[in-house]
Structure formats: C-alpha cells, structure tokens
Structure 1
Amino acid sequence: MKDRLDKVVLITGAGGGIGAAVAAALHRRGASIVLVDVPAADLERVSAQLGHSRVAIVRADVTSREQLDNAVATAIEQFGRLDIVIANAGISSGARASTIRSVDDGVFERVIGVNLTGVWNTVRASLPHIVDSGGYILLTASTYAYVNGMANAPYAASKAAVEQLGRALRAELAGTDATAGVLYPGWVSTPIADVAFGGDEIATALVARAFPAPIRRPISTEKLARATVRGIERRAARIQVPGRWIPYSLLRGIINPLSDIILERDAEIARLTAELDGRRT
C-alpha cells in the first residue's frame, strides 16, 4: 500500500477536469482537500464524489485576490494549516479558434485574467502559509508554454507566463523549506481540448497538420492525475504529462526555431490560417 499523504491541499479550478481528477487522486491518498471554483453545483458534485470527508468547498473567482484570501483562510480554519496549493484554474479562448487578427475584443484580457492573474492571486494569497509549513505550490501551465501558439495565442501566452512565474518562484524559495513546481499537461480529454479535436474544423485540421500523431493524442484526466500526484510527492520542479512531450521540452531551443520556419512556409497552414482570419466580424 502506498504511504498515506497526510497533507492539506487547496486546488483552484477544482469543479471539473484536471482539478477534480487531481483532487480525487490526492483524496484517495489521505489528503484533506479544499476545492475552489466558481460554480457551486460543480463543487458540491465533486465534494459528494469524494464522500464529503476531509473536504471543504469555497466559491471563489481567482481573478479576485480578496476571494482567494478568503479561500486560504477557509483552509486554515477548517484544517489548521496549508501544505500544498495547486494553482490550476484556467480557461480557453473559446469554442472556436481564432487568430490574433480575428479574435474578439476582450478575449485576450479574459484569458490572461483567469490563467495568469488568477495564478498570481493564488500564489500571493497562499505563499505565507506555504512558507510557514515548508510546503509546495504547483502551477498549471501547458505544453503551450513552449510550443507555437498560433490560432491559440491568448491561451499560449498565458501559459508561457505561468511557466516563468513557477520557475522564478522555485528559485526564490530555495532559501526556505518551501518549494514550487510547474505542471505541463499535453492535450487532456477535457472541454478545453475539444476545439482541437473535432469541436472546430479548422483548429482540428491545423493540429493534425502541425503535430505528429503520437504527441497530439489526448490523455485522460485520471492518467494526468496519477502522474501529478507522483510529481507532488517528490516536490518536482517540472511535471510533464504525458512523458512523450519531454524530449520536445528539453530540446525546445532547437526544435522551436525549426518548427516556426516550417509553420511559416507550409502552404496548407497558411490557407487554414487565412480561413481563421476570415472569421473577423
């Protein structure tokens, strides 16, 4: 039997997808979980699935620092301490792909608000308690932190920035007993990935054209959660799931300039991009 994980864990974006799956995996190991999200019904559903034992739920919008402060305060009031924080809440650019030219006004700001400012608020609200407990903060980025973000620029920009926050935070915490890491999911079977796998015909064609089949295959939230828990246990600097993305990540300084050239010169990608540009209203 695996050792019991007797930790208090706060997870944002815990009402579904990656957050809910990681919450379930940690709860099975014995952790006490603070579920943070906006929809009350989703939080209640996840709490019920966990059996309500060792679970607290907090409705909070991560774009509000005050609401994140309240979520952290709830963790301390309910469980007496805070050991692990997973800054996971995130949104996509929408159900349809777009270019920087064709994206609706306000989408970039909304994505940055949740995916980047939300992570910042989560870290800032929880950091004093994590330092006190010698704990661990995990920031959810994406493989889009380092692959070309064409047709998905707001999301990719936000995740690249989250990676930088996580790297800086780990270095800054080196003189304490606390530490931090970055989670890099590839495509995961959640609604965010739907746009690239049948939800949007052009986006699906672009992904099929730009990425080889082995790395574009989505994985389940359960598989990602298992790997994430293993990374949390070793307080990893980087958790890349699935592992088939690791060579790309390690060689990004070589691969990215080459892939950028290929994308720029591919006539079919240019044609598909022009179709996306034509979506301007």
Structure 2
Amino acid sequence: MKDFSGRVALITGAAGGIGSAVASALHRRGASIVLVDMVSTDLESVAAALGNQRVAIAYADVTVRAQLDAAVATAIDRFGTLDIVMANAGISSGAQASTVRSIDDGVFERVIGVNLQGVWNTVRAALPHIVESGGYVLLTSSTYAYLNGLANAPYAASKAAVEQLGRALRLELAGTRATAGVLYPGWVATPIAEVAFGGDTVATEMIARAFPTPLVRPITPDKLARVAVRGIGRRAPRIAVPRRWIPISMLRGIANPILDAKMERDARLIGLTAELDARRP
C-alpha cells in the first residue's frame, strides 16, 4: 500500500459508510484528513475513532457552494495544502422504492441536488488547490451509472451524470499535474442499500430477479475502502468495487440491451413494477 504521509485528503459524506471507511484507510496510511458532512451528523465520533491526530472537521451541506468553499478553506488553513478530494456525499430516493410515476414530488430534485450538484460544488471549490498541488479528485459514481435504473431512476440518473463529469474532468486536467477518477461501487452494506436488501420487499425481489446473485451480494465499506485507496494511490481513472462488475461495465454496449430486453419480458418484474406504480400519492 502507498504511504500517504504528508498528503491531505478532503472527503465529503465522511460521517459514515464509504466516506468514513476511506477516511480511516487513508489516515492509517499517513494522510491528514478533512472530514466533511452535514451539521446533523456526528463527525466528532469519526474524528475520535481516528485519534483526532491529523484530522479536521468541516460541517457543510454539499448543495451550498459557499459551505464547500469554507470546507476547503479549513483544509488549507489547517494543513496548508490539498492533495486528494473525494466527492462522495450521496443520498438515495428514500426508504421505499418508487417508479417515475409514483415517486413523490421533489425527490428527484433533492437526489440530483446532493448527488450531482453536490459533486459539482465539491469539485469547483477544491479544483484550484488540486491543480496547484498536482493532486487527485475521486468522484463517487455507482454501477447504476450503466445499469438500468428501474425503480431507482433519480439515483441512477445522478450517478450516470457523475460518471460523465469525472471522465470529462480527467481529460481536462491532462495538461496539468492533477488528475481525476471515478469510483464505481456495486452494492455496499450501507443505509443507502437497505431498501434493496430487505428494507422494501418489492425492491428486494426486483433486484433478485434482475441480476445474478453473485453480482448483488453486498460488500462491506471497509473492503471497498481498501480497493479505493489502492486506486487513489495509483491515480486510477476508474475504480470498480467489487471487481466482478468490471466485465459488465466493459461490455455495457452489449450487456445493457440484452439485460433490458430480458427485464422487459419478465412478467413477474412487470407485476412488481405495477405494485410500485400503485404507491403513487
């Protein structure tokens, strides 16, 4: 594993799940960490778990650019530089699955606001310092960037957009010492994934019917963090976790039409979708 001593990393969505796991993994390897999350979260506990050494806290709503500017300023004021940024904060559509017809008004806008606008705000706030330090930006997308977003359209749309943002950013930084990459987690055992694994019985059955069992088996945040930190160390353009998703991503132009056609003909899946449609207010 690469030694990150002397490097400074800012991570949004750092109060739990993927964010806190990556923060811990980087910190163990010597990095100084700026933990960023909402005021409603307990960043102090995460900082305490890291020993409060080489750690700073910045409470911020990623949908508010000024608060991200302040978080970046915290990194510079405390540590003098910024070498790694992980734009990771994200939310799901809620505790129940829904279709485009049945989803509550405002949910799409809220998901896009955090998952896409929040990533944009994080990148924009940090980029001058990342370019100056020759650093690395990692954008958290998802396998939903290329999977069908059935019953999860707002989340899937946001993650597909994040993928495109990350790809464009990497090329735009090619003439500098800085660079960027995209993280593609599969299902991870975090609160966001609970709806698909027992939190909503309809969604759970839909996932089980749509994908082979090995693909949908969730991994732990710590396992994801180990792979993500290796990718950060080599400034990877793409980090796929777990690796069993890589063939689907590489063959998406072939696999997606086949999977879509299969699901479109699945009578049980159509019936489950109708159950979600019936939830509309």
TM superposition score normalised by structure 2: 0.99
Offset, 1:40 = 5.3
CA distance in 1, matches of 2:40, 2:131: 30
Offset, 1:41 = 4.7
Pair 1:232 & 2:232 matched: yes
- String of CA shifts for 1:80-117, please: whole Å, max 9, x gaps: 00000000000000000000000000000000000000
Secondary structure of the corresponding residue to residue 9 of structure 1:
strand
Pair 1:273 & 2:273 matched: yes
Secondary structure of the corresponding residue to residue 45 of structure 2:
helix
Amino acid at match of 1:103: I
Pair 1:54 & 2:27 matched: no
Pair 1:246 & 2:246 matched: yes
Aligned length: 281
Amino acid at match of 1:17: G
What pairs with 1:175-254 in structure 2 (closer than 5 Å)? 175-254=175-254
Distance 1:232 1:2, change over 3 A: closer
CA distance in 2, matches of 1:215, 1:90: 22
CA distance in 1, matches of 2:268, 2:139: 35
Contact 1:137 1:181 in 2 (8 A): yes
CA distance in 2, matches of 1:84, 1:249: 25
1:69 is matched with which residue?
Answer: 69
Amino acid at match of 2:228: T
Gaps of 5+ in 2: none
Gaps of 5+ in 1: none
Structure 1 residue ranges, 4+ long, deviating more than 3 angstroms after superposition:
1-5
Structural RMSD (CA): 0.9
CA distance in 2, matches of 1:6, 1:96: 43
2:13 is matched with which residue?
Answer: 13
Secondary structure of the corresponding residue to residue 57 of structure 1:
strand
Pair 1:124 & 2:119 matched: no
CA distance in 2, matches of 1:41, 1:243: 31
Offset, 1:263 = 1.1
Contact 1:83 1:134 in 2 (8 A): yes
Secondary structure of the corresponding residue to residue 198 of structure 1:
coil
1:264 is matched with which residue?
Answer: 264
Percent sequence identity over matched residues? 75
Pair 1:170 & 2:157 matched: no
Contact 1:5 1:26 in 2 (8 A): no
CA distance in 1, matches of 2:18, 2:85: 14
CA distance in 1, matches of 2:51, 2:40: 16
Offset, 1:234 = 0.2
- String of CA shifts for 1:27-72, please: whole Å, max 9, x gaps: 0000000000003552011001001000000000000000000000
1:26 is matched with which residue?
Answer: 26
CA distance in 1, matches of 2:105, 2:89: 22
Contact 2:4 2:26 in 1 (8 A): no
Secondary structure of the corresponding residue to residue 62 of structure 1:
coil
- String of CA shifts for 1:97-142, please: whole Å, max 9, x gaps: 0000000000000000000000000000000000000000000000
Secondary structure of the corresponding residue to residue 225 of structure 2:
helix
CA distance in 1, matches of 2:209, 2:14: 33
